[in-house]
Structure 1
Amino acid sequence: MLVAFSVAPSGGPSDSVHDAVAAAVRVVRESGLPNHTDSMFTTIEGDWDEVFAVVKAATDAVGAFGSRVSLVLKADIRPGYSGELTAKLDRLEAAMAEPDGA
């Protein structure tokens, strides 16, 4: 499965969330699961239990930066598939390279 998530503190002493987000991304990267971070979300690939354990740990890490935590999740649950973190993008790029109408 792929899970894209965004986690941020609220109710903290600062409007800046980069330190909290860095703590969450550090948890993800240390997990060893395939992942990708962009300006809005971090996406992780793995099975249900391991992905959600990482999301929980990342959320807990952000919790240290405020009195509340906001978590947004989107999941693509497709049993039997792996490598989709990059394969979906590869298929998109291949489709974009095709001439119109092909």
Structure 2
Amino acid sequence: MIVAFSLSPSGGDAVDADGGMSEAVAAAVEVVRGSGVPHQTTAMFTYLEGEWDEVMAVVKAATDAVAARAPRVGLVLKADIRPGHTGEMTGKVERVERHLD
């Protein structure tokens, strides 16, 4: 299973001095990096790959980390559920790249 998720903190102390929300988002990324689950963080989403329970536990822990810094958190989540497949976070991209070469 691959999950793409994005957390958006709002309100309270979630806003940085420069008007951004990077400190609260960094708390979520720290949770992801410490999880041991294969991951990739981009400018708009964080991708996780693993089994349902382990991936969703990381999403919840990351959401909780942001919620500790903001009174409101928006969560966008997209999942590709394909039992028995692993390495698809990079495999999908590699298959497309082969067509472009």
TM-score by length of 1: 0.91
5+ unaligned residues in a row in structure 2: which ranges?
A: none
Aligned positions of 1:60-71 closer than 5 A: 60-71=64-75
Offset at residue 8 of structure 1 (A): 1.9
76, 82, 85: which one aligns with 2:86 = 82
SS of corresponding position for 1:36? strand
| Counterparts of residues 1-102 of structure 1 (less than 5 Å) | 1-13=1-13, 14=15, 15-97=19-101
1:96 counterpart letter in structure 2: L
Q: CA RMSD in A?
A: 0.9
Q: Distance in 1 between matches of 2:48 and 2:11?
A: 27
TM-score between the two structures when normalised by the length of structure 2:
0.92
Q: Provide structure 1 residue ranges, at least 5 long, that are not aligned to the other structure.
A: 98-102
Q: Partner amino acid for 1:43?
A: Y
- List structure 1 segments (4+ residues) > 3 angstroms apart after TM superposition: none
- Percent identity among equivalent residues? 62
1:12 CA displacement = 2.2
Q: Distance in 2 between matches of 1:52 and 1:12?
A: 26
Matched residue count: 97
Alpha-carbon distance between aligned partners in 2 of 1:17 and 1:46, rounded to the nearest angstrom: 28
Which amino acid counterpart does residue 65 of structure 1 have in structure 2?
R
